Amino acid sequence: MAAAATPHPAPRAVTLEPRLIEVSAPRGARGVVLLLHGGGARRAPAKVSPAQLSVLRMLPVARRVAWASGGELAVFRLLNSRRGWDTLHTPVQDALWALERIAERLGRRAPACLIGHSLGARAALLASDRPDVRAVVALAPWVSPSDAPARAGSCRYLFVHGTHDRIASLARAVAFARRLSAHAPVAFVTVRGGRHAMLARLPLVDGLAADFACSVLLGRSRSPLIRRIEAGESWIAV
């Protein structure tokens, strides 16, 4: 008589929940900066790994913001609940969740800047209609022609995009920025030769993100480029 086959254990369900990582949370912080990563989608919903390259790309930006603010800004990184852009639960929802959790930790809603890369930049742009979001830095934003710019009268926007980006369309980003500029202050910095992660110009790109956040939230900046933007320049190539 043949032995009964041993049943295989059922696969464990993957828990898909966003995670908030504190980089710096000084007492009495004057503002908040939330870093939003990118990352491609998978065929099935997949958990975000802290070691994936799109997540690691935001580490130097977070450190640069914490340093540039001189301890006056709270800085957090978000790990999305899912990789890519799941239409049933998008990174926009994760970003809004993170802003709520940050407000709970700080005990109040503070003026916020969202800094995102690729799909994280898309999420930042689409989540910017909250009244506490005062600034968005969109690094190499992957945007869809159907994306509708958020209408946030108190928010300012900085786009930074490489001319050699083969993943996120520079033309789409420019078109989005032009539509957005009809009802909000927008600046666009084009990085000559920059690819999607813009790693070859990392000090410049990450410095622009940090200095723009400090300019909007703290009223100060070390960057000559940000000072040019403050003086009214909207389209700059570097």
Per-residue pLDDT tens over the stretch 38-75: 988 666 678 888 889 999 999 999 999 999 999 999 99
Residues 6-35, mean pLDDT to the nearest whole number = 82
Q: Which residue has the tokens 């990174």?
A: 91
Q: What average pLDDT is seen over the chain?
A: 91
The DSSP call for residue 221 is -
Write down the pLDDT at residue 48.
87
**What distance in Å separates the CA atoms of residue 149 and residue 131, rounded to the nearest whole number?**
15
Break the chain into its structural domains and give their ranges.
19-237
Residues 92-112, mean pLDDT to the nearest whole number = 96
Structure tokens at 98: 């993170």
The yes or no reply on domain 19-237 and CATH 2.40.50.140 is no
Strands 133-139 and 186-191: unpaired
CB atoms within 10 A of CB 96: 15
pTM score, whole prediction: 0.92
Is residue 12 over pLDDT 70? no
Each residue of 148-174: pLDDT tens digit? 877 756 899 999 999 999 999 999 999
Helices H, strands E: what count in the chain?
A: 7, 8
Write down the pLDDT at residue 5.
58
Q: Give me the sign of the Cα torsion angle 144, 191, 55, 229.
A: negative
**What distance in Å separates the CA atoms of residue 167 and residue 140, rounded to the nearest whole number?**
9
**What distance in Å separates the CA atoms of residue 103 and residue 107, rounded to the nearest whole number?**
6
Write down the pLDDT at residue 219.
95
Write down the pLDDT at residue 3.
55
Please give the distance of CA 112 from its chain centroid, rounded to a whole number.
12
Please give the distance of CA 120 from its chain centroid, rounded to a whole number.
4
Confidence of residue 83 (pLDDT cuts 50, 70, 90): confident
Helical segments of 127-169, H only: none
Beta strands in the chain (DSSP E): 19-24, 31-36, 73-79, 112-117, 133-139, 156-162, 186-191, 235-237
